[in-house]
Chain A
Amino acid sequence: MASLDRVKVLVLGDSGVGKSSLVHLLCQNQVLGNPSWTVGCSVDVRVHDYKEGTPEEKTYYIELWDVGGTVGSGSSVKSTRAVFYNSVNGIILVHDLTNKKSSQNLYRWSLEALNKDSSPTGVIVTNGDYDREQFADNQIPLLVIGTKLDQIPENKRSDVLTRTAFLAEDFNAEEINLDCTTPRYLAAGSSNAVKLSRFFDKVIEKRYFTRDGSQMPGFSERKRYGAGNSKSLHYD
């Protein structure tokens, strides 16, 4: 049963936006009771049914890599973090709806992750400035999630939601706004759950299915427990 195919999704965002709570909610379907600082990277796994309800339904493992830290860290922390950015199949960008700066920092986060990615499409970035064309060219599916929705008072909500809609458009991505302390936002059948499912399906498609619909070989036969991964490992 451990030989299901897998995809790797990064969860990025500023310190304190709620990435660990989000990952816990997505993987364990429970609210995280005592969130604490993430040092380094924490991984969790979600079992996802691709194309659920259709004859082509297949189960995949989705690894959610929650990379901790701030985007303005020293270069030694950034170089160490880059180790986790290899062979990424999807990126979830998390920002705090009550803190505008965390949304602005998402541009820098995505550039940091896409810079280091050694995917065949080769996203070329020259000077680190935000350039919309890079994101149009980008092959890796992105998803923008805004947290702490419950802390926004009702009268400010529409402004905040317009702002985040622009943000998601910039990334050419879908967006979900929720509160990680109540599971009802991701209840089965809600529009958020549908968006999430669509995102994961898109990630799996990009990874395993080429454009003409034929399936690319998975890694399950070749992967051995504890095999070393060097930095230049590609999925080919």
Chain B
Amino acid sequence: MSFLVDSVIMFTSQVLFFGFGWLFFMRRLFKDYEVRQYIVQVVFSVTFAFSCTMFELIIFEILGVLSSTSRYFHWKVNLYVILLVLIFVVPFYIGYFVVSNIRLLQRQRLLFACVVWFTFMYFFWKLGDPFPILSPKHGILSIEQLISRVGVIGVTLMALLSGFGAVNCPYTYMSYFLRNVTDSDILALERRLLQTMDMIVSKKKRIAMTRRMMYQRGDDQNKQTGFWGMIKSVTSSPPGSENLSLIQQEVDALEELSRQLFLETVDLHATKERIEYSKTFQGKYFNFLGYFFSIYCVWKIFMATINIVFDRVGKTDPVTRGIEITVNYLGIQFDVKFWSQHISFILVGIIIVTSIRGLLITLTKFFYAISSSKSSNVIVLVLAQIMGMYFVSSVLLMRMSMPLEYRTIVTEVLGELQFSFYHRWFDVIFLVSALSSILFLYLAHKQAPEKHMTL
């Protein structure tokens, strides 16, 4: 009986998540496009719903909601469905839509989509070879094979985004890094842009007029038909044409310049807005947060290096450690069991909410930047794939942040994976990503003021 009730609760929450994913897709992602293939929207919302359900099950685990057998059952079901979606459904549809865009292969869409899917599966399988992720007692078709590979990809993604985010966040928040931009700089650049446009216009006028004259003269010339007419038209080229190609080259160069100037002007406008924003109260608050985050970022990089150099993996989670410190060193006595449950709930809840929100925002920005009306379906599906793998791996890694008694369910469900490997791999990629982001931002920052000094 209670199993039925539990299932109903789970199902309702899944429907809610599905609705949220659907709305997000319609209102945010596909704001400027028309949804013509509803299957894309369905697949995206399903991936989102099942990923969120996994997080929900972790919360339920901590709070002790629903009976533990039904929780275990739902974990397993959810995991199978998500793996099915991430490995079979989404890649197949990505292949299908990519193939649909290519005109040559339109007829045999299904066939080529299957071919693409098989190539994906081959590389996906090969991915597992260089990593020590499985113990030999697992068979070839066990669920652990699939999860371990999904975990590798997802953890790499998480670490990359994390590393870049950890460095980029203080860089954007702090006003220390803002270049000084005045109104006159912007006006000067805009004037240059308009001057360039005027030069392009006058050259194009010459081209248009020369073409028109050639066309009119060509009409008279073409009236000479016959053998001699053909010979004449081959040997004598109209006088304007070499001139035209020269002007056309100048126009191309000027157009490239105008594009550069446009992008620089946009950049200056954006910087000016940021400067104005930083003077407001909100801006000052974010500036302060930026300093805080930069310290946090440095600490994380330091810890990652220590972990790798000294080859250690953290044994206890922050909650238990915090409680230990409070109880042993500060001498405050309280009901450990009660508080550990609540604190881990809050901590895990915060981690889940921020990671979902952060990922959705990043994906939206990414989508706006690179999508076009032809490729929007493919890109959304790729984003759904990334989202699914990201969420599965965050469950995997979150295991470390939970006290022992809650860890068991995750270990049971995901099977005997080498969890310590994933943490080590996360540290390595995080370090690489953070250091290269620092290098990249340093170069970009250095290069920008030099550009404007030449004005």
Which residues of chain A have a CB within 8 Å of any CB of chain B?
Answer: 1-2, 4, 6, 14-16, 27, 37, 39-47, 61, 63, 70-72, 74-77, 79-80, 83-84, 96, 98-102, 105, 225-231
Asked if B194 and A226 sit within 8 Å, CB to CB, the answer is no
Q: With A39-B259, A41-B258 given, is the CB distance from A2 to B266 under 8 Å?
A: no
CA A163 to CA B206, docked complex, whole Å: 40
B32 at the interface (CB under 8 A from A): yes
A228→B263 contact, CB < 8 A: no
Pairwise interchain contact A228-B194, C-beta atoms closer than 8 A: yes
Determine the chain A residues whose CB is within 8 A of the CB of B193 once the complex forms: 40, 83
Determine how close the nearest CB of chain A comes to the CB of B213; give it in whole angstroms. Answer: 8
Establish whether residues A45 and B266, one from each chain, have CB atoms under 8 Å apart when the complex forms.
no
Interface residues on B, range: 35 or more
Are the C-beta atoms of B258 and A228 separated by less than 8 Å? no
Whether B68 is near chain A, meaning CB under 8 Å from some CB there, is no
Residues from chain A with Cβ under 8 Å of B208 in the complex? 27, 45-47, 61
- Pick the residue among B32, B34, B191, B207 that contacts A228 (CB under 8 A): B191
Residues of A within 8 A of B202 (CB): 2, 225
For B372, list chain A residues within 8 Å (CB).
Answer: 15-16, 37
* Cβ B262 vs Cβ A40 within 8 A: yes
- Kindly identify, within residues 189 to 223 of chain B, every residue whose CB is under 8 Å from any CB belonging to chain A: 190-191, 193-195, 197-202, 204-209, 212
How far, in angstroms, from A101 to B33 measured CA to CA in the complex?
6
Inter-subunit contact B205/A61 (CB<8 Å):
yes
Question: Which residue of B194, B205, B267 contacts A83 across the interface (Cβ within 8 Å)?
Answer: B194
Contact of A1 among B32, B209, B273, B368 (CB under 8 A): B209
List 6 A-B pairs, minimum CB-CB distance, nearest first. Answer: A40-B262, A76-B269, A76-B270, A16-B373, A45-B204, A39-B259
**Chain A residues with CB under 8 A of B34:** 98-101
Q: List 30 A-B contacts (CB under 8 A).
A: A6-B205, A15-B372, A16-B372, A16-B373, A27-B208, A39-B263, A40-B259, A41-B262, A43-B200, A43-B204, A45-B207, A46-B208, A47-B208, A47-B209, A61-B208, A70-B32, A71-B32, A72-B32, A76-B266, A76-B269, A83-B194, A84-B197, A96-B373, A99-B33, A101-B31, A101-B33, A229-B195, A229-B198, A230-B187, A231-B187
Which residue of A45, A84, A96 contacts B205 across the interface (Cβ within 8 Å)? A45
The answer, yes or no, to whether B255 is at the interface (CB within 8 Å) is yes
A72 CB contact (under 8 Å) in B31, B262, B269: B31
Whether B209 lies near A76 (C-beta < 8 A) is: no
Q: Which of A74, A101, A226 contacts B199 (CB 8 A)?
A: A226
Contact status B255-A80, CB under 8 Å = no
Cα distance, A4 to B187, chains bound together (Å): 29
**Counting CB contacts under 8 A, is B320 at the interface?**
no
